[in-house]
Structure 1
Amino acid sequence: MIHYIARLFDKVGKDEEVVDWIRAFASSKEQFAIVKVGGASLQSNPEEICDDLATLFHLDLLVPVIYGWGDALTARLKEHGIQSERHASGVRVTREGDICHLKEIANEQANILVNGLAARGIPAQGVDAVFAAEKKYLEGVIGDHFTGELVDVHLQPIQACIAKKTMPIIPPLGYSPEGILFNINADTAAQGLVTQMRPQKYIILTNTGGVLDREKKIIPRISLSNDYEELIKGHVVTEGMRLKIEEAKAAIQEVPTLAVQIASPQNILIELFTNEGKGTYITK
């Protein structure tokens, strides 16, 4: 315990803010945070992510972690001679032939976290059946597909995990009432989870470390009411980052007190225990 507390203060380096946020998290009855890990971040920084999650666990702060796969699934499909498809909206078009590979990657990505935390003595568990979904309407897409539209979020499996002091690791997979599996965009699934759990902070981990401007420098703060239209119309944010911003906007509209931070996978603790963080802080 002492080792992890010392690590927190050493890594963050802002003692007063750390103390303030520890008190804020401890005094709240709401979930303190949700972390969304991008697929590329999980592949490139598993040790740093697991170290920070272990520190949280030893502070009695269990954070639901929702993860993506992105590049990992693209690479797996390519190995099997399958070309990945993207819709104009930026979401992946998942075909029937992709499903078996999707399940494999979902398990492998979860095991990076579950096994990494187990190596640190932290119980973690993959939590399925959190999201209800239906087929997403994708204009212009021909043929059957299994890209999911989020319909509902079931919190009970997550709450059961937390109640037994186990960190929930959540894939963005949804199921129809008939048991049909759908691939939901991870940012969309995370937004649905945030809206239901209403945490104090929502941390989105990406290898860019934040939202980048035209000079590829991190934009430290984005006010959605002032900056959103310019970022979109000026094509400063596109594709995956645009979807992240749009889902963050939707989350803040539902949870006005929410702090959203897009950050490096190396900086979970810094984002959680400082006021501004080192990535991009998104406000109303």
Structure 2
Amino acid sequence: MTSTKNPREKNAAPTEDRPSAHLQARILAEAIPHLIRYDEQTVVVKFGGNAMGDEKLSNAFAQDIVYLKQSGINPIVVHGGGPQIASMLNKLEIKSDFVNGLRVTDKPTVEVVEMVLSGKINKEIVSAINRQGGKAVGISGKDANLMIAKKITEMADPQSNLMKAVDIGFVGDPLEVNPHIVEVISRSDLIPVIAPVGISREGQTLNINADTFASALAARMQAKRLLLLTDVAGVLDSNKQLVPELTIDEAHAMIKSGAISGGMIPKIEGCIEVVEAGVEGVVIIDGRVPHCVLLELFTEHGVGTLVRRADRKKGKG
């Protein structure tokens, strides 16, 4: 016997996983202005940290990226992979050291780095996005000369802040960004997922910090937003409360006063450089929060710390 029950009725009652119809309407009403603001805009998302190793968080991230694409936004994913690289190096009994937060990368190490980043991790993220209904394509900075880099030969001394010569192997800084391949992919229904491996003008493979890679790409493409997923909530004030937004001047002042310290200093300095290069805003987001990308872009207050120019306000385009 055919049931005459209205199929809409089974969806009417709210559950723990499904909000009420009225709540759904309020959520949509809040999101619509943001959807309009980001329509056909480029958003670069750096995916890294513990979220990469958590299946639920990885799936939520993939859902967010697919939703952005389906909403008319052009998401570009750049991923890290430090813990996975360290694990593989340990298995292969290859010693790995760090200088100022950058992995010393000799010839055997750079081969492992490329294998893990461009192979295992890249394809895992591509597969996760595809499982959620997207069409992701995995590339690296070597493809179509996307990221031409130069070997790092000097770094600032942490004590004196003076530049000093270093030899950390095949580690690079962006020198030239050629985004044609990313633009071609983004103009279609495909989503680019990029491993932060670059190439020198001499043809050497170079390991590039994922934040640095994503920042250079976002600046070159004049992205609407650069989202940096991390393992921290964002910038905290003296009361350990999240600072939702900072102008460039405010960020400099917090660094000078010591309110921003330690490993957050180079991250904020990097954000400032990207904003000064023309990106509207850079957001440090806690990647441990499920659906943090959607929460940041499509809610009024977001979930991270936005670094912006003085003439911009969070949530006001």
TM-score range, shorter chain: 0.7 to 0.9
How does 1:45-124 map onto structure 2 within 5 Å? Answer: 45-88=57-100, 90-106=101-117, 107-124=119-136
What's the CA shift string for 1:56-115, capped at 9, x where partnerless?
222232301111112221222222223332223x32222212112102210221122100
C-alpha distance 10-105 of structure 1, shift in aligned 2 (>3 A): farther
What's the CA shift string for 1:38-64, capped at 9, x where partnerless?
243322321110111121222232301
Output the CA distance in 1 between the equivalents of 2:103 and 2:201.
22
The equivalent of 1:262 in structure 2 is: 284
SS of the aligned residue for 1:34 comes to strand
1:147 corresponds to which letter in structure 2?
V
C-alpha distance 144-68 of structure 1, shift in aligned 2 (>3 A): closer
* 8 Å CA contact 2:152, 2:167 repeated in 1: no
What's the CA shift string for 1:9-64, capped at 9, x where partnerless?
979965444111111222x6xx3311111243322321110111121222232301
Aligned-residue CA RMSD (Å): 2.6
- Percent identity of paired positions between Structure 1 and Structure 2: 24
Deviation at residue 177 of structure 1 after TM alignment: 2.2
1:42 maps onto 2:52 in alignment:
yes
- Provide TM-score, normalisation by structure 2: 0.77
Unmatched tracts of structure 1, length 5 or more = 1-5
- Provide TM-score, normalisation by structure 1: 0.85
* 8 Å CA contact 2:153, 2:166 repeated in 1: no
* 8 Å CA contact 2:171, 2:207 repeated in 1: yes
Output the CA distance in 2 between the equivalents of 1:218 and 1:13.
25
* 8 Å CA contact 2:45, 2:75 repeated in 1: yes
The equivalent of 1:24 in structure 2 is: 37
The equivalent of 1:219 in structure 2 is: 243
The equivalent of 1:242 in structure 2 is: 265
Which of 201, 214, 217 pairs up with 1:190?
Answer: 214
* 8 Å CA contact 2:80, 2:196 repeated in 1: yes
How does 1:109-258 map onto structure 2 within 5 Å? Answer: 109-128=121-140, 129=142, 130-139=146-155, 145-213=169-237, 217-231=241-255, 234=258, 236-239=260-263, 241-255=264-278, 258=280
Q: Which has the larger radius of gyration?
A: 2
1:150 corresponds to which letter in structure 2?
P
Output the CA distance in 2 between the equivalents of 1:142 and 1:194.
28
Output the CA distance in 1 between the equivalents of 2:126 and 2:186.
14
2:154 corresponds to which letter in structure 1?
L
Output the CA distance in 1 between the equivalents of 2:32 and 2:135.
26
* 8 Å CA contact 2:62, 2:128 repeated in 1: yes
| Number of equivalences | 271
